[in-house]
Chains A and B, each alone.
Chain A
């Protein structure tokens, strides 16, 4: 039994039930190409009328995009009436296939799930063979939104009464993911707001420093942070009512009074043992490491089951549930991140510190966590919470032992102080939620000041004035390269090569043309600088082989597109995307013409040289 259905049988089965035209989503580009080849080998040949219709439709597309006239797949598509459509193809070829599909010329298209949202590319039926897609170098389950986006292509308005989504299994499939996807509600959108260096420079260019906080407050990120803060405000109100019976007594702040007295009573004998070197960061975070909290550890993530202080050193400790069910006891210092996610957790005395149902539930949740979790913004306060020695010394001076309110205080203290701690925790969280964006902005400002793009008063320096025009990924690396005059004397081809290696973020291996010595030594310099900047900006891949492809295209204007494609194993769609992205990067350099005329000039020459052949056809 083959693990999945043969493409020819698949389309035959669909055709028999009148379920064509269909889009078949496959796991890889290769699978798409192989499916098409399988058709070719099966000698399924379209009747001449349909072949004629395809030829006529292609004719019209070719009139607009002449480069595809010679496309090697044209005869095959015309003969068999099916096609592949994936990112390895040129945009113009994809447009041609989309047009053929819209006109009803094809029975099936084999596509990868990268088939973009919004491209008008519908069919009567979509076939789904997978339940996960490659994202960030790992396979991830499809989200409900993604399943619905894929299934959404089934059923053309005006051409079908109903649409069909047919699941056919391959070894990659998890049926649950798909049934959940078909029947569920799409995920809520979470803000992914980040503060980049160019954002800071551009904001400070247009607005005075004191207005920025109000601008950041307009973000969807802040809107969602406020929603969470509001939930906490609601809880604070509840706490406030719960606190009512514990108002002022003989002392106004009897809770603190009793707390100090009680602590002093207890701590006196082993006060010297308390670790005073606990970092304020750990202390601040420890408040939030409550049962159910998701935390990041050196390796992986875990959920806190219990927090306590160790017997001897009184150092902060946590019991953490880790993936796979391990329960570990560690100092709170091992927690690297405190995430903004808290699960319900029914606590219990003794191992494993929570009720069995909670344990199972948490273990399940741990594996279902999304890869990206928002961090809990935590403000680190500088002052220590320890009671000053002076107070301990004067234990005898406390009024508590003889106070009339003593029994009531003693009885209520635990409850009251717990409520008040909760209150304070919420107040701190709310404060952090309301100010975290601003803090992140400040951090960026500090970096930009260190590098000299901003003055100590947060005004743009001369360098800042032009650097704000570089609004792409790796902007810091690019502007630092410009300041180091790394591009001085670099010809358009070398400049293109460097920009390509900064722009390209795919680690797919392949065979490539040789890189020139000039480019190679410049790339060495770029790599060094990128490494030194890594505390402030993630370094790009900086692949020399990729740089060579782009360099080749620019350095030899007589090189044809086919010639370029032959020099590497990269798919032509990938080469196209590489050059298109490089164009974007170069066009940003071009905006520096008033401050860096030489560089801008070199960039515009490079742009002119890149824009030829297929790269000339689309804007």
Chain B
């Protein structure tokens, strides 16, 4: 393969493949755009184009769809401990190539507009979470923007009505600040306090806002008998954005907090959609005084539509259907597919057309 052909082949690859190729070859490759990356790759491997080419073929051969390998029990195999890989490859090959034309742009845009003001009616899942909290710990896993704050606020209100104190934690100071403002508006500024490492504003208030790290430290202090804040009246601990449990650096803090959370306080874990909320609930059940209630759903309250906009200004639906075809990543709209191919072609190195 000539270096020209190789260049063209590189140009046909999605950028992710190029980045994979560049690992260990090009310093700071992630800073480069597609064209520059191709140039750098060719430059770096000018003495060993064959090596680059074979690596590229290796990467290419794994990319296109190969049929899923069914576990073959043909030979007599002793069952083996197989950890399921976290992401199975999408079944692109099995995607039935639909011949339907795909939704029209007009139909895709339909329904756009502003609903008339509606009286606030809690969603069933919100009610369910609150009802659950009356008895036990609750884990909520629902999509972004569903209304988890309402559950936090109502739960806090009910706890305070029973003369219990409430701790609300978020992973970020910025978020704590926003909630501090928001809760102060709802409950009155004398009833809301905020704790940071070096500051305590209104630390005797019935609702305290802090980052999860600060709460973890409080719990350690309480365990060794030096209590700054009264934990005996604590009725509710709200951990917002609990999906941080999976954060490589900070996830451990959520585990520590949950392990040491006083048993008389209810735990409310609010989380964006995650893959294994049942595991989290089962875990809580196994270490807390009463069985944890899981409230989950994955349906967005405001339906989502996905579109594709070509740099020339042409807008088209991304999928064949107006809504998101959950579970079927391959159902691209023919127009989006065409425009994307055109885009990849147009952004070849130095603008040279393919073929």
* Chain A contact residues, CB within 8 Å of chain B: 1-5, 9-10, 13, 17-19, 91, 94-95, 98, 116-120, 122, 127, 131-132, 134, 138-139, 141, 144-145, 148-149, 151-177, 179-180, 182-194, 196, 199, 202, 205-207, 215, 218-221, 223-224, 227-228, 231-232, 235, 238-239, 242, 290, 292, 324-325, 340-344, 346, 357-358, 360-361, 363-365, 367-368, 370, 372, 418-419, 422, 426, 429, 468, 471, 580, 583-584, 586-588, 590, 607, 611, 618-619
Contacts and interface: CB of A to CB of B under 8 A. Distances in A.
A193 to B, nearest CB: 5
Pick from B16, B240, B247, B312 the residue with the most CB of A within 10 Å: B16
Contact of B252 (A5, A19, A176, A193): A193
Interface in B300-324: 300-313, 315, 318-319, 324
Contact of B329 (A132, A171, A184, A368): A184
Given A5-B313, A122-B145, A619-B201, A191 B255 contact: yes
Contact of B111 (A162, A175, A202): A162
A94 to B, nearest CB: 7
B243 to A, nearest CB: 7
B103 interface: no
Question: Which A-B residue pairs are the 9 nearest by beta carbons?
Answer: A152-B144, A155-B302, A188-B275, A192-B251, A139-B30, A587-B197, A587-B198, A206-B223, A171-B34
Contact of B174 (A119, A180, A206): A119
A121 B194 CA distance: 22
Contact of A583 (B115, B198, B351): B198
- Interface size classification for chain B: 35 or more
Contact of A158 (B66, B117, B175, B310): B117
B62 A167 contact: no
Interface string B268-301: 0000111110011011001100000000001011
Contact of A235 (B79, B143, B149): B79
B305 A619 contact: no
Contacts of B224: 202, 205-206
A3 B311 contact: yes
Contacts of A340: 83
Given A192-B247, A218-B259, A618 B329 contact: no
Interface of B: 14-16, 19-20, 23, 30, 33-35, 54-55, 58-59, 61-63, 66-67, 69, 71-72, 75, 78-83, 85-87, 89-90, 109, 111-115, 117-118, 143-145, 147, 149, 170-178, 180, 194, 196-199, 201, 213, 216-217, 220, 223-225, 240-241, 243, 245-249, 251-252, 255-256, 258-259, 272-276, 279-280, 282-283, 286-287, 298, 300-313, 315, 318-319, 324-330, 332, 340, 343, 346-347, 351
A235 B81 contact: yes
Contacts of B113: 160-161
Contacts of B144: 117, 148-149, 152-153
Count chain A CB atoms within 10 A of each CB in B14, B176, B177, B305 and give the residue with the most. B305
A188 B78 contact: no
Nearest to A238: B79
A152 B272 CA distance: 10
Contacts of A18: 109, 112
A220 B274 CA distance: 15
Contact of B114 (A160, A193, A227, A419): A160
Contacts of A238: 79
B306 A185 contact: no
Contacts of A4: 311
A573 to B, nearest CB: 11
B328 A174 contact: no
B223 to A, nearest CB: 4
B318 A156 contact: no
B115 to A, nearest CB: 6
16 contacts: A3-B33, A118-B171, A119-B178, A132-B19, A165-B305, A182-B318, A188-B86, A188-B279, A205-B224, A220-B245, A220-B283, A223-B279, A344-B69, A363-B61, A367-B59, A580-B173
Nearest to B32: A171
A149 B178 contact: no
Contacts of A117: 144, 171, 241, 243, 272
A1 B346 contact: yes
A167 B15 contact: no
A586 B198 contact: yes
Contacts of A580: 173
A324 B58 contact: yes
A364 B175 contact: no
Contacts of A221: 255
**Which of B63, B78, B247, B319 gathers most chain A CB within 10 Å?**
B78
B228 to A, nearest CB: 10
B337 to A, nearest CB: 9
Contact of B145 (A19, A91, A157, A235): A157
A163 B300 CA distance: 10
B198 A590 contact: yes
Contacts of A357: 66-67, 69
A145 B272 CA distance: 8
A164 B197 contact: no
A363 B62 contact: yes
Contacts of B306: 151, 164-167, 182
A189 B246 contact: yes
A290 B80 contact: yes
Nearest to B250: A192
B300 A324 contact: no
Given A117-B144, A164-B307, A187 B241 contact: no
Contacts of A205: 220, 223-224
B332 A179 contact: yes
Contacts of A182: 304, 306, 318-319, 324, 329
Contacts of B298: 185
A134 B31 CA distance: 10
A17 B315 contact: yes
B186 to A, nearest CB: 14
Nearest to B302: A155
A584 B170 CA distance: 16
Given A161-B111, A619-B201, A194 B275 contact: no
A456 B111 CA distance: 71
B280 A154 contact: no
Contact of A175 (B14, B61, B115, B275): B14
Contacts of A192: 245-249, 251-252
Contacts of B256: 199
Contacts of A164: 304-307
Contacts of B90: 176, 180, 184
Contacts of B246: 187, 189-190, 192
The interface centre, meaning the residue of A167, A290, A358, A370 with most chain B CB atoms within 10 A of its CB, is: A167
B174 A91 contact: yes
Contacts of A116: 172, 174-175
Contact of A187 (B87, B117, B171, B300): B87
A266 to B, nearest CB: 24
Nearest to B248: A192
A167 B332 CA distance: 13
A342 to B, nearest CB: 5
B220 A206 contact: yes
B309 A145 contact: no
A425 to B, nearest CB: 9
Contacts of B312: 1, 5
Given A157-B147, A239-B79, 14 more contacts: A1-B312, A5-B311, A94-B174, A122-B145, A134-B30, A152-B143, A155-B304, A159-B115, A184-B90, A187-B86, A189-B279, A224-B279, A341-B83, A619-B177
A324 B240 CA distance: 42
Given A149-B144, A219-B255, A619-B177, A168 B197 contact: no
Contacts of B87: 144, 187, 368
A589 B32 CA distance: 43
A422 B328 contact: no
A324 to B, nearest CB: 5
